[in-house]
Structure 1
Amino acid sequence: MMDGTREEALRVAAMDALRRGDAVLARATLREMAEPPAMLLAQACNRAGDLDGEQEALRRILDNEPRNLPALLAMGQNMLRRGDERTAAVWFRSALAQAAATGAPPAIQPLLEQARALVDKASRHFEDHLSAVIGEVSALPRLRHATDLMLDRTSLYLQQPSMFYFPGLPQRAFYERSEFAWVPEVEAMTADIAAELAAVRADDADFDPYVQTPRDRPAPNNALRDDPSWGAFYFWQGGRRVEDHAARCPAVMAALAKAPMPIIDARSPMALWSLLKPGTHIAPHHGLLNTRLICHLPLVVSEEGALRVGSETRAWTPGEMLIFDDSIEHEAWNRGTRTRVVLLFEIWRPEIREEEREALARLFEAIDLFGAGAVDTGG
């Protein structure tokens, strides 16, 4: 019998043995072949309980096709039958990623669902294991964040300013009030600033829309464009003092004078009351620069309002400053019944040295002199 004819006869005989449920004979028949089909041999070994033989056959497939979806799933099941849940989860994660990238035939979908369930189970076991080893980490925010990232509880958010990125700065969503010596003095003026706010809103409760359609450039793609539900009452805008507003609010101006706000011609300072009406949601977005931080001094708060920066969400508390990096993805919402108003202003990042601040100011001024810069609303 010619070699090719013999090989085919052995293959057919092995398949017949598998159909009859005789996996041991099927495996023995395939091993008589010079080059047995690897997946068929893996199936025969699997049904015969020969985990090492199955693994060797699957490895032959994966050496040539590292993303072979059936082989990835079978390798995961092989590890699971050995009692190695952790390694099985590694194979199943690879299979799920491959299926997500290229799709999978309907026949494999039940196996993918089993793989997904096993991965979820393994993740829970891993989480329980870590909790038992390292204990409660809630009092250590950075360790908690790192653990949440490792366990896929959250995503990694980094600085992605839309105009200018300054390298080497820490990736921090929020800064703490206690880190800034000037903050207590500003917070102590909250009542006076709130009184000025009430007087201004007594004349007109609404402010101009925070995001407005400019006349000299394309309209911004923002659902709240020209909508007073997100309102702004400026004290400094584009580096220029808004004289009539400043004159009405001396407490605001005195408070702002205590903060290290950037001084950049035609750009900074930037300071305003930011108003958010009930039912309003500011969609996730990034600020222009990572060279500054945004400060919120809450004056009027809503019971269902919050600010998310990266993976962390904080609520506004009257008189307690929130300080954050708006170059990291952030969003805000007011799901309550009261209008929220904060005093919003920018400050230099504390990590930027004085000589760097001076150089950055000159650089930004040169950029703006070249042509109309991007509109900066500060988040």
Structure 2
Amino acid sequence: MSLASLLGEADRALAAQDFTRAQKLLREAALAQPEDLSIFLKLAGVSRAIGQFGVALDAVHRALSLSPLDFTALLMRAGLLDRAGDPMAGEAWGHALAQKPDGQLPPQMAAVLAEGERRHAAWLDAREQRLEAAMAVAEQQADDEERKRIARFRSNALRRTRHFHSEPTHFHFPGLVEREFHPRTLFPWLAELEAETRIIVAELEAVMSAERAELVPYIQYADHLPLQQWRPLNHNADWTAIHLWKNGHKVEANSRHCPRTLELLERLPQPVIPGASPNAMFSLLAPRTQIPPHVGINNGRLVCHLPLVVPAGCWFRVGAERRHWQRGEAFIFDDTIEHEAANPTDQLRIVFICDIWHPDLSTIEREAIAALIAAEDGVSAVGL
């Protein structure tokens, strides 16, 4: 019998619910065409229907050997392992969920997937409890920063989060520690900056009320440049800035209203790079505005945020960690790791932003970075 005849007869047997005959015909078809994924999926389904779960699992594994990421095959495998009480079922559900296609699924498949999501979540929770117990002794002896890293290590192992890397658009200096948010202990001046929040806010209000203050879109570049990550906010007034320093130039119209803020900046380890740095500004994000995921230009510098006017609900994500800004609580992050922000409220959000050297850099390395970027004209069209 030809392959077409075998498959036709198998379909008729299925329609008549003669699953035993359908299984026999599909086995013959699989021998005739061992590279056809659909035949093995049908054979798995028929074998499952007549309670031959081992045969069904073998057929699914044959299908996956042809297409290891096939969603239907992965879903069937997870269900079969779950039915058998196999300890690998939880992980198998995770493999299937990772290949979920976009769009709406057929009702029966959607129901199976929903149950799989519950099973996978329960498996993850149990696994997390087991790992927490195994790590408890070490974790109890850790300091706050160590505990944070240990917890992230566990979360990454569970695939609840993933690792992110520094991916600057222009300048990557090798060997620097990659951290989404850097520990406060590395920047003892943060407390002094935070203590001046009230004065910085007062100077912000002064510059915002000044007639000659300069309020400009945060993102400004020529439309023809290949910078797709910024396109929705390019020249957009939803994200604006009042610059005190911009690409190494003091903006007198704004900075003259902020003497104390400028004095504080002088104490910070800001890069001094002709055409590129220092940078310092008040960043204004309009209500109901989101800044899309993006990365910065140079991993030799980090970015400091001091929240000034922050309605409840405004958030900021770097890599896998999301934080809510709190007025007067500063933090340091690596902007060459993917990050995004949102103001989901009906009020304006304002954060003071400045750049600083990465603490891993020696004096000579800073000089080398500054020389190279200055020689490249500072990439001044991009800025902070």
Same fold (TM over 0.5): yes
Q: In 2, distance between residues paired with 1:65 and 1:191?
A: 61
1:100 maps to 101
The alpha-carbon distance between structure 1 residues 112 and 145, as it changes in their structure 2 partners (threshold 3 A), is farther
Instruction: Note the 1:99-178 alignment, pairs <5 A.
Output: 100=101, 109=106, 112-133=109-130, 134=132, 140-154=147-161, 156-178=163-185
* 1:276 lines up with 2:278 in the alignment: no
- Report the more deviating stretch, 345-354 or 279-288: 279-288
Secondary structure of residue in 1 paired with 2:89? helix
Cα contact 2:307–2:330 (8 A) shared by 1: yes
Matches within 5 A, 1:1-379: 19=16, 23=20, 39=40, 45-59=47-61, 62-63=64-65, 72-84=74-86, 86-87=88-89, 90=92, 100=101, 109=106, 112-133=109-130, 134=132, 140-154=147-161, 156-204=163-211, 207-211=214-218, 213=220, 222-243=231-252, 245-336=254-345, 338-368=347-377, 373-378=379-384
CA spacing shift, 1:116–1:249, aligned 2, 3 Å? same
**Larger radius of gyration, structure 1 or 2?**
1
Contact kept, 8 Å, 1:42 with 1:55, in 2: the verdict is yes
How far apart are residue 306 of structure 1 and its match?
3.0
Q: What SS does the corresponding residue of 2:175 show, helix, strand or coil? A: coil
- 1:226-269 CA distance string (max 9 Å, x none): 45553323222221233454444321121001100001112111
Aligned length: 363
| Counterpart residue type for residue 269 of structure 1 | P
Q: What amino acid is the match of 1:86?
A: M
Distance 1:66 1:122 in 2: 22
Distance in 2, matches of 1:29 and 1:277, equals: 65
CA-based RMSD of the aligned residues comes to: 4.4
- Going from structure 1 to structure 2, the CA distance change for 1:198 and 1:110 (only over 3 Å counts) comes to closer
Q: How much has 1:129 moved relative to structure 2?
A: 0.6
Deviation of the 1:162 alpha carbon: 1.9
TM-score of the superposed pair, with normalisation by structure 1: 0.75
Q: Are the equivalent residues in 2 in contact too, given 1:211–1:226 (CA < 8 A)?
A: yes
Contact kept in structure 2, 1:96 and 1:115, CA below 8 Å: no
Q: Is the 8 A contact 2:300 2:361 kept in 1?
A: yes
**By how many angstroms is 1:71 displaced?**
5.3
Give me the whole-angstrom Cα distance separating, in 1, the residues matched to 2:223 and 2:25: 80
CA distance in 2, matches of 1:243, 1:141: 42
Distance 2:77 2:284 in 1: 57
Long gaps (5+) in structure 2 = 34-38
Identity within the alignment, %: 33
Taking structure 2 as the reference length, the TM-score comes to: 0.74
8 A Cα contact 1:239 1:263, kept in partner: yes
On the 8 A contact 1:287/1:326 being kept in 2, the answer is yes
* 1:375 aligned partner, one-letter code: A
User: Displacement, 1:324?
Assistant: 1.4
Aligned position for 2:36: none
State the distance in 1 between where 2:60 and 2:9 align: 20
Secondary structure in structure 1 of the residue aligned to 2:303: strand
